[in-house]
Amino acid sequence: MFRYIAFPIILLIICSCNNTSNNTPNHSTAPPPKEIPFTAGMLSSKTDYVCGMELRDGGIADTAHYDGKIYGFCHSDCKKEFLKAPLQYLSAAK
């Protein structure tokens, strides 16, 4: 009588332990997300507000979204400076 009850329980435990799938995605096999290159025409200005460098297609190193607009930068350091005080840079450019 015991083996009729124990066998299905043991089988259930073994089968549930073998289920190693989880709901987290496997990033090692997923392709990396495609980068969307920004062109100068997509930006609110053709000039880096921090250093004053002219931005051209292929020369945009980083972007920032601020007040519904996209601002381009020649370097990520310029973006960091801009984000510290965006109004300062935007009002100086006017």
Query: Is residue 25 scored above 60 in pLDDT?
Result: no
**Assigned domain for 87 exists:** yes
Residue in the block written with tokens 């090692």:
28
Give me the domain span that covers residue 85: 38-94
CA–CA distances in Å: residue 69 to residues 5, 17, 53, 72? 68, 52, 19, 10
**Assigned domain for 52 exists:** yes
Nearest to 50 by CA among 24, 18, 82, 28: 82
**Assigned domain for 86 exists:** yes
pLDDT in tens, 26-56: 545 655 555 557 778 888 888 999 999 998 8
Number of domains in the chain: 1
**Assigned domain for 48 exists:** yes
